[in-house]
C-alpha cells in the first residue's frame, strides 16, 4: 500500500502509513504481497504485514533461543528493572498506543484505556514481587536434621505466545512479562487482524532495555504459524477459542511441552433479591457491553431472582438505552465496533435465531452501518429458548439474555449448566452470602458486586478457566511458575541412606520404621 493512498482515518490519529510500515519492517521475513490489515472503523486497508511460513518461525525461534542463553544470566533484579521501564514507557506513550489500538480493533477509547493500564500494572507486580518467587525455597528433607531439600527454578527456555485480536495490547504482553522476568525468551504470534499494537509493544520493550532477540514477533495465518511455533518452543500460552485451544493442547501434548489455555466462556451473572439493582444494572452494562461484548469475561447470561426480575429489567434496559455508539478517537462514545464482518454475522445470526425461537428484544438488536460497517447495538434478550445458540454458545458480541429464577439454588444450578467455567458474578447486599454463593459456582473467577474488573485487576490472584474454558492460570505466582522448571536439590549429612556396613538388614528396617513414625508425628505437630 503506497503512502499516498493512506485512508482518511489516519488524519484523526497520531499515526501514519510510514509508522505502520516501520513496525511491519521489524519482522524478519520477506514475502510478496503479505497479509492486508483492515481497520473495522472504515473497512479500509491500513497496511500489510509479512505472511510468515514455517521457515520464518524456525528462524525466529532459533534467534530467541540464542538470545535466551544470555538473558537467563542477567541478574533477576536487572530483568525486573527492564520491566519497570517498560511499564513507564507504556504509560508515557498511552495516547499513541490508544490510537493504534482503536485503529486496529474499532473499540471505544474508554475501553481501550482499561487494556493499556493493565500492562504497567502487571509489569510493576512482577518487577516487585517476581524476584522473590524465583528464589530458592527450602523444603522438608527425608530425615529431619540428617537431610535437607531445596527447590531451585530454571526458565523453560523459549515460550511461544499466541495472542487474540480482542485484547491485542494487554494479551500480547501480560503473558510475556512473567516469562521474560523468569529468564525465558518469547516468540509472539499476534492475530493477523491486530499485529501492529504487538509490534509497537515489542519496540517499547527494546527501548526499555530488552536485548535484541529475547522477544521475537512472527505474523501470519494461524493454521500455518501456530503449529510451526508449537513444534519448536518449550511452552505455549494460548488465548482464543475453545475449538482452537483443543488443537493447541493436543499438539503441545504430542511434543511433551506445557501449555496454558484461556478459552471461551458463557459467563453467568446472578442477581439476588437483596441486590442494589441500580448497581447491578450498571455492572451488567459494563460487563456485557465493554469492547462491544468481545470480552471473554463478559456476562452473556443473567439470572435474577423473580421477585426483582421486572425491576432489574427496567434498570438494565434504561441504562443500556442511554449508551452512545461511535468510532471517534476520543473518550466520548460508550460502545465501538465489532472486529469484522464474520463477527457481525455471528452476532446477527445468534439474535435472529433467538427471536425466531420466541425471544423478545428489549433493547438493541440492530446492525448500525450508519455508525460503522460492523457496529451492532447493545442488545438485551428475554424469553430465550434454553436450547438456542445464544443460550448455549459464546456469542462474543454485545448480546445478553436475562432470565428469572425462583431462588438462589435455582440461580446456582442455571449458572453451572454450561460446559464453560471462566468468569461469573454475584450481586447481593450481603457480601458474605455472595462469597458463599461464589464458592458454589464452577468458574475460575467469581466476582461479588462487580462484573469482572475486580477479579481481572487482582494481578496477585490467578485468573483462568475450568472445563471448556481452559487450562492453567495467568497472574499471581501461578502466572510465573508456569514458565519455570523446578529442580530439587537434596543433601544428606550421613552419606548414603542405606544400611551401614555391619548392620543387619532387619535392624536397619526397624530403625527406618522408627524414623518414619517419628517423622509422621513431627509433621502433625508442625
- Domains of the chain from N-terminus onward: 52-99+115-263+477-481 (3.40.605.10), 267-464 (3.40.309.10)
Catalytic residue among 262, 300, 305, 394: 262
Query: What global pTM score does this model have?
Result: 0.95
Q: For the segment 322-365, what is each residue's pLDDT rounded down to a tens digit?
A: 999 999 999 999 999 999 999 999 999 999 999 999 999 999 99
262 flagged as catalytic:
yes
pLDDT computed for residue 1 by the predictor: 30
Q: Which residues of 452-487 are buried (b: 16+ CB within 10 A; e: fewer)?
A: beebbbebebbbbbebbbbbbbbbbbbbbbbbbeee
Catalytic residue among 259, 296, 375, 447: 296
pLDDT computed for residue 5 by the predictor: 56
pLDDT computed for residue 2 by the predictor: 33
Treating both helix axes as pointing N-terminal to C-terminal, what angle do 222-230 and 54-71 enclose, rounded to 10 degrees?
40
Taking 70 as the pLDDT cut, the residues of the chain under it are: 1-6, 30-31, 526
- For 424, other C-beta atoms within 10 Å of its C-beta total 31
296 flagged as catalytic:
yes
- Among the listed residues 506, 478, 417, 517, the one whose alpha carbon sits nearest the alpha carbon of residue 175: 478
How, if at all, do strands 399-405 and 158-162 pair? unpaired
Amino acid at each position: 500500500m503506497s503512502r499516498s493512498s493512506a485512508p482518511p482515518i489516519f488524519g484523526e490519529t497520531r499515526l501514519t502509513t510510514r509508522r505502520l510500515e516501520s513496525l511491519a519492517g521489524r519482522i524478519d521475513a520477506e514475502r510478496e504481497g503479505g497479509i492486508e490489515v483492515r481497520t473495522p472503523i472504515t473497512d479500509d486497508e491500513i497496511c500489510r504485514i509479512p505472511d510468515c511460513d514455517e521457515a520464518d518461525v524456525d528462524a525466529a525461534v532459533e534467534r530467541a533461543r540464542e538470545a535466551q542463553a544470555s538473558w537467563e544470566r542477567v541478574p533477576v533484579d536487572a530483568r525486573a528493572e527492564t520491566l519497570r521501564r517498560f511499564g513507564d514507557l507504556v504509560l508515557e506513550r498511552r495516547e499513541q498506543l490508544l490510537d493504534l489500538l482503536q485503529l486496529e480493533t474499532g473499540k471505544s477509547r474508554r475501553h481501550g484505556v482499561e487494556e493499556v493500564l493493565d500492562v504497567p500494572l502487571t509489569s510493576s507486580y512482577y518487577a516487585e514481587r517476581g524476584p522473590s518467587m524465583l528464589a530458592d525455597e527450602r523444603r522438608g528433607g527425608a530425615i529431619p536434621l540428617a537431610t535437607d531439600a531445596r527447590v531451585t527454578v530454571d526458565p523453560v527456555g523459549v515460550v511461544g505466545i499466541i495472542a487474540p485480536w480482542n485484547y491485542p495490547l494487554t494479551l500480547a504482553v501480560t503473558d510475556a512479562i512473567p516469562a521474560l522476568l523468569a529468564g525465558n525468551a518469547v516468540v509472539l504470534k499476534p492475530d493477523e487482524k491486530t499485529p501492529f499494537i504487538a509490534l509497537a509493544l515489542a519496540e517499547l520493550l527494546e527501548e526499555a532495555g530488552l536485548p535484541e532477540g529475547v522477544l521475537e514477533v512472527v505474523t501470519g495465518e494461524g493454521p500455518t504459524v501456530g503449529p510451526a511455533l508449537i513444534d519448536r518452543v518449550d511452552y505455549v500460552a494460548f488465548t482464543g477459542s475453545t475449538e482452537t485451544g483443543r488443537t493447541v493442547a493436543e499438539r503441545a501434548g504430542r511434543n511433551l511441552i506445557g501449555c496454558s489455555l484461556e478459552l471461551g466462556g458463557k459467563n453467568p451473572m446472578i442477581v439476588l433479591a437483596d441486590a442494589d439493582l441500580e448497581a447491578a444494572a450498571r455492572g451488567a452494562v459494563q460487563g456485557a457491553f465493554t469492547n462491544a461484548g468481545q470480552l471473554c469475561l463478559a456476562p452473556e447470561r443473567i439470572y435474577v431472582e423473580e421477585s426483582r426480575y421486572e425491576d432489574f429489567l427496567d434498570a438494565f434496559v434504561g441504562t443500556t438505552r442511554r449508551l452512545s455508539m461511535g468510532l471517534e478517537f476520543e473518550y466520548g462514545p460508550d460502545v465501538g465496533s465489532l472486529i469484522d464482518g464474520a463477527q457481525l454475522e455471528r452476532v446477527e445470526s445468534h439474535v435472529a435465531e433467538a427471536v425466531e425461537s420466541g425471544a423478545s428484544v428489549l433493547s438493541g438488536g440492530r446492525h448500525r452501518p450508519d455508525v460503522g460497517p460492523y457496529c451492532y447495538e447493545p442488545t438485551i434478550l428475554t424469553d430465550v429458548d434454553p436450547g438456542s445458540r445464544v443460550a448455549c454458545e459464546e456469542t462474543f458480541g454485545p448480546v445478553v439474555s436475562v432470565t428469572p429464577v425462583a431462588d438462589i439454588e435455582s440461580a446456582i444450578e442455571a449458572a453451572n449448566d454450561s460446559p464453560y467455567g471462566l468468569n461469573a458474578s454475584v450481586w447481593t447486599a450481603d457480601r458474605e452470602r455472595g462469597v458463599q454463593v461464589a464458592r458454589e459456582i464452577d468458574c475460575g473467577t467469581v466476582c461479588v458486586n462487580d462484573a469482572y474488573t475486580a477479579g481481572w485487576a487482582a494481578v496477585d490472584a490467578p485468573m483462568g478457566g475450568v472445563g471448556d474454558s481452559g487450562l492453567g492460570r495467568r497472574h499471581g505466582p501461578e502466572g510465573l511458575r508456569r514458565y519455570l522448571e523446578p529442580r530439587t536439590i537434596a543433601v544428606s549429612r550421613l552419606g548414603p541412606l542405606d544400611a551401614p556396613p555391619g548392620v543387619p538388614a532387619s535392624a536397619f528396617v526397624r530403625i527406618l520404621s522408627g524414623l518414619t513414625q517419628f517423622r509422621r508425628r513431627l509433621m502433625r505437630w508442625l
